[in-house]
Amino acid sequence: MAKKTQKKLSAWDIVQIARHAERPNIADIIRLVCSDFVELHGDRLFGDDRGLIGGFATIGGEKVVLIGHRKGRGVDENIDANFGMASPEGYRKAMRLMRLAEKYGLPVVSFVDTPGAYPGSEAEARGQAEAIAHNLEFMSTLRAPMVIVICGEGGSGGALGIAVGDRILMLQNAVYSVISPEGCASILWRDGTKAPQAAETLKITAPSLKKLGIIDEIVPEPAGGAHTDPAAALAEIKKAVLANLAELKKISLDDLLQQRYEKFSAMGRF
């Protein structure tokens, strides 16, 4: 009997998997990847954003500073987490934690999963764009190894605000893009129903981004997506994070900063 071949997924199929309600989130990562986690709160300027969390953690014996977007399960959790859309105080909290990583000589592990930064008027009034821009500048010269994991949606500046690092890993069925397919379709064609076409055109899947040099490594997922076997998916994340941390620890901080600068300076050159 002929062997059944799995249907090749389109970019739009992968968008749906990346957004799946049961896809492992930051709470699952903390529970299954970290042996301990001490959350730190607040940006010391305005408040504590529940859409982006972080603190001290241990992953496979490695002490790290962990930060990540928080998506909830169910309506109440998602409202509390603002559906993973961080406000300025979230990005400022992330910067505060990264400063602590530098101070204590710890690596930073960042988990990206957001449709984008919160676009509300109150976030804009408190300096959303400035907070993200300041983070980009700060991360480019942070004297600590940084591993970034795109684990679900990596949406626009909201993702970039915690995604400048030495190694950028991406789950097989995650997406990473300057704009959502729906937003792109609405702008280009004035027709949101063309989102599947936009998803293909944007090159937002892991293989496309690896080919373009935007990400460094694709982390495999179970067949059907990480939500079908969260424990197996998170075991792959843990293995990939530890392997990359081990490599980064062999590089001096001066060389690491130079490589980071060259890495991001090369993006967009064809």
CB 57 within 8 A of CB 30: yes
Residue 236 has pLDDT above 60, yes or no: yes
154 lies in a domain? yes
22 lies in a domain? no
Query: Residue 67's domain is classified under what CATH number?
Result: 3.90.226.10
Q: Hey, is 150 helix, strand or coil? A: strand
11 lies in a domain? no
In this prediction, residue 1 carries a pLDDT of 43
29 lies in a domain? no
CA distance 219 to 170: 6
Mean pLDDT of the 17-27 span: 95
In the predicted model, what is the mean pLDDT of the chain?
A: 93
266 lies in a domain? no
107 lies in a domain? yes
What is the pLDDT confidence band of residue 40, given thresholds at 50, 70 and 90? Answer: very high
170 lies in a domain? yes
At 53, the amino acid letter reads I
189 lies in a domain? no
State the DSSP string of 38-84. EE----SSS---TTEEEEEEEETTEEEEEEEE---SHHHHHHHTGGG
Characterize 88-110 residue by residue with b for buried, 16 or more Cβ atoms within 10 angstroms of its Cβ, and e for exposed. bbbbbbbbbbbebbbeeebbbbb
Percent over 70 (pLDDT), the chain: 97
Residue 171, H or E segment: strand 167-171
CA distance 209 to 82: 28
**pLDDT tens digits for range 51-81:** 999 999 999 999 999 999 999 888 888 888 8
Q: How many domains is the chain built from? A: 1
Q: Where in the sequence is the domain holding 48, given as residue range(s)?
A: 36-174+212-261
Residue 205 sits at the vertex; the CA angle it makes with 204 and 207, to the nearest 5 degrees, is: 130
Task: Identify the weakest region by mean pLDDT among 2-6, 39-43, 123-127, 196-200.
Answer: 2-6
What is the pLDDT confidence band of residue 6, given thresholds at 50, 70 and 90? Answer: low
At 189, the amino acid letter reads W
